Amino acid sequence: MTSRRRRRRRTSTVSVLLVLALALGGYALHAALAPSDGSSAATESITGAHPTGGADSTGGADATGGADATGEADATGRAEPSRASRPDPDTTATLRALASLPVKGKAPATGYDRTGDFGSAWLDVDHNGCDTRNDVLARDLTGIVRQGRCTVLTGTLVSPYTGGTIAFTRGQTTSTEVQIDHVVALENAWRTGAQQLPHATREALANDPENLFAVDRHSNAQKRSGDAATWLPAAKGFRCTYIEHQVTVKARYHLWVTPAERDAMERVLDRC
């Protein structure tokens, strides 16, 4: 009996030692494979971070100049890049479209009336619940803060016509620092075929995003109703995009160009 008990004790001791050896071996293997510099935690922190910047929640002045505390950032939490800041003109296609446009002199401007002929500024022709001016501001400005869903209170514009930066604040004396330019000026459109369009089509032209850029006040005042023969953006790097938009709009709404306008467009496109 004593001998049998001793054998059982030896067997139990061997089993315990074997379990301990396996446990120690597993721990050593885990320690050898695990990173020692905290990289696992760092990776989790990086992959778990939100890819967009934080939203600016400060309100700006409203149209009456009063402070608004309900301003909110763009719904995405980030500012969309300006449509105007991404020039990628297709010069060959633009030259083909330009060649297809009729060429003749301007019709008289007699009877031209911006509101009567093209509708009031600004309409909601795309029926998204926001007027066209706020749509363009939201598209072309960065870091925007809104009041409600539509009204842009503040933001930053890099004017495509000059390359200059403008801090926009909505208000009676500040809103005009950023203006919405019709790439094909409405009076120019009126004198090159828009008189023949239905009123609803003229309203669409006046609110077509392809025909609109948010720009600095000085450039818009300087351009007035000029065409490519009389005015081009000071930022030469943007001229190809500018002419591409003019040609696209003229083709879309069946407008014509004057001989001088066509020649000016061709000179710009030849350098693109």
pTM, two decimals, is 0.70
- Reported as a pLDDT band with limits 50, 70 and 90, residue 89 is confident
Mean pLDDT confidence for 184-209: 97
Q: CB-side exposure of 26: number of CA atoms within 13 Å?
A: 6
| Helix spans in the chain (H) | 2-33, 39-48, 91-100, 114-118, 132-140, 186-191, 199-206, 217-223, 239-252, 259-270
- Please provide residue 216's backbone torsions phi and psi, each rounded to the nearest 5 degrees: -75, 150
> What does pLDDT average to over the chain?
78
Give me the mean pLDDT over the 30-41 stretch.
Answer: 35
Report the b/e string of 39-68 with b at 16+ CB within 10 A: eeeeeeeeeeeeeeeeebeebbbbeeeeeb
Contact 259, 103 (CB under 8 A): yes
Crossing angle between the packed helical segments 239-252 and 259-270, to the nearest 10 degrees: 140
3-state percent helix, strand, coil for the chain, nearest multiple of 5: 45, 15, 40
What does the pLDDT look like over 172-181, one tens digit per residue?
Answer: 999 999 999 9
In this structure, the number of other CB atoms found within 10 A of the CB of residue 177 comes to 15
Q: Would you say 199 and 186 are in contact if contact means Cβ atoms under 8 Å apart? A: no
Higher pLDDT, 91 or 28: 91
The pLDDT value given to residue 184: 98
Say what the pLDDT of residue 82 is: 54
Alpha-carbon gap, residue 266 to 263, rounded angstroms: 5
The predicted pLDDT at position 272 comes to 95
pLDDT, tens digit (0-9, with 9 covering 90-100), for 133-185 = 999 999 999 999 999 999 999 999 999 999 999 999 999 999 999 999 999 99
Pairing of strands 212-216, 178-182: antiparallel
pLDDT in tens, 92-124: 999 999 999 999 999 999 889 999 999 999 999
Tokens of 73: 């950032």
